[in-house]
Amino acid sequence: MNSPVAGMSAPWAGLVAELREVIVTARPHADVELIERACEVAAWCHQGQLRYSGDPYITHPVAVATILARLSDAGEVDDRTLCAAILHDTVQNTPYTLATLRRDFGTEIAAMVAGHMALDRLGRRPGRQVTQVMTTILSADARVVATKLADRLHNMQTLQVLPQAKQLRKAREVLDTFLPVAEQLSMPTLGSELQALAFAALIRNQPLRPFRRRVIVALDIESSTRRPDPVKAVLRTMLYELFDASLRSAGVSARRRDQFTDRGDGLLALIDPADQALLVNLVIPLFSRRVAGYNASLPDPGGRDRRLRVRVVMHTGNVHDDDNGCFGEALDTAFRLLDAPRVKTALKTAQGPVLLVVSGDIHDLVTSCSCGATGHTASRPVTVQVADHEYRGWIHIPAKPHSSIVMVPMPLTRPTAKTATAKYPPNCTETPSSIWLVGGAPNRIFCCSLFLANSRRSLAAWNCIAWSRAL
């Protein structure tokens, strides 16, 4: 046979020389002539074949054999194992037959190559459970399994040239199957390298998505863990229904927020920042009133354990997304504020059923609003640490709404001279998009005008106009 290895002029010839050097150093009694003959046959069989990277295919089996030759924790690796590693793809990917391989190198090496091919076919069968694959692999010849581990290690070292989906699949196969096998065979060197490469592939192939600016609203039911499951189910149902109803009543439609995310004893809502003031001034008071109404409807004392008391946090920030959901420092900040001991204590001592804690920017909005319908008490500060940064929040307890307050949407009109003169904010050039009549006090009507600052529907301000009128 006119061997491609003979002249040692091929670009991959250095790999063969490296393999020979490793074998001579680590295995002084190895049959170098047998191993070099296996290299010559493999080079001839794979001549003209390329890998995804564009490298000659022969570079792969030679690299696999080099990995095995370097292993100090794989006592079962011998000269015949190295030959089988070099020849492991010849029968499967070239015209070279198993019978010819058996004639050229003997029954033992041919059996190891056939065993390697069987493990390859096992990995391609759909629907096989990981435990079934593991059992089959561990029952195979240990030398074949070691070769398969080295084969996967080299594939992981050159994984970046493959499509993203294939990279992820191979990385997950390492964690599911190959890593446990390496542990079972007491091959920590291979196992640690496989694990590191699998982790790197999973991280590298996580798609980068642009962050979203959102108002983060998280709600938690007080003392949920102390309630039996049937009671928890009732409280969860009411939490979702009452908060969703409050959003709908305030005009925050489903298309302007994400679908609620369940938090076990609460929920997470991510809402368009354009609705930030609407959330503070209308949604939370409405929600507080509805929770109070639900609690009042329960029988006393039998319904005491079904009473709903809720901590609510509002914080505006950047939300990141991946295949597993949303994350980010802004969410961490909101959750830390919600779970702060001072916030939990404040709700226990509060008369109302809802306590609101807000971050600094939303606190400025709350304190600057002079709308009588908002009804928040004086605020108290609370501080949390997130990612080595200190964040301050403010505790607000929504005042108990008057039982006769109703919110009625009215057509787009300005008050007439007979009723009142509208006092629009000096920096507002837009007309109000809607007028809300809020009735409550015996002879007072409050008119809340919602101003839209620009085409992005950003909420500029609430202008509350009061006038006296005989009812």
| CATH architecture group of domain 13-204 | Orthogonal Bundle (1.10)
In contact, 71 and 77? CB cutoff 8 Å? yes
User: Length of the chain, please?
Assistant: 471
Quote the pLDDT of residue 184. Answer: 86
**Quick one: pLDDT band at residue 410, thresholds 50, 70, 90?**
very low
pLDDT tens per residue across span 102-156: 999 999 999 999 999 988 887 655 556 667 777 777 778 889 999 999 999 999 9
Quote the pLDDT of residue 126. Answer: 57
pLDDT of 177 strictly over 50? yes
Q: What distance in Å separates the CA atoms of residue 432 and residue 449, rounded to the nearest whole number?
A: 6
pTM listed for this prediction:
0.68
Q: How many CA atoms lie within 13 A of 460 on its CB side?
A: 19
Of all residues in the chain, what percent carry a pLDDT higher than 90? 50
Q: What distance in Å separates the CA atoms of residue 31 and residue 128, rounded to the nearest whole number?
A: 39
In contact, 145 and 138? CB cutoff 8 Å? yes
Quote the pLDDT of residue 11. Answer: 57
Which of 42-51, 335-344, 408-417 is predicted least confidently? 408-417
438 burial level (CB within 10 Å; 0-12, 13-18, 19+) = buried
Q: What distance in Å separates the CA atoms of residue 422 and residue 468, rounded to the nearest whole number?
A: 14
Is 212-396 a CATH 3.40.50.1100 domain? no
pLDDT tens per residue across span 267-319: 999 999 999 989 988 999 999 999 999 999 998 776 788 899 999 999 999 99
Q: Is 359 left (phi over 0), alpha (psi -120 to 50) or beta?
A: beta
Q: Where are the domains of the chain?
A: 13-204, 212-396, 406-468
Common-topology check for domains 13-204 and 212-396? no
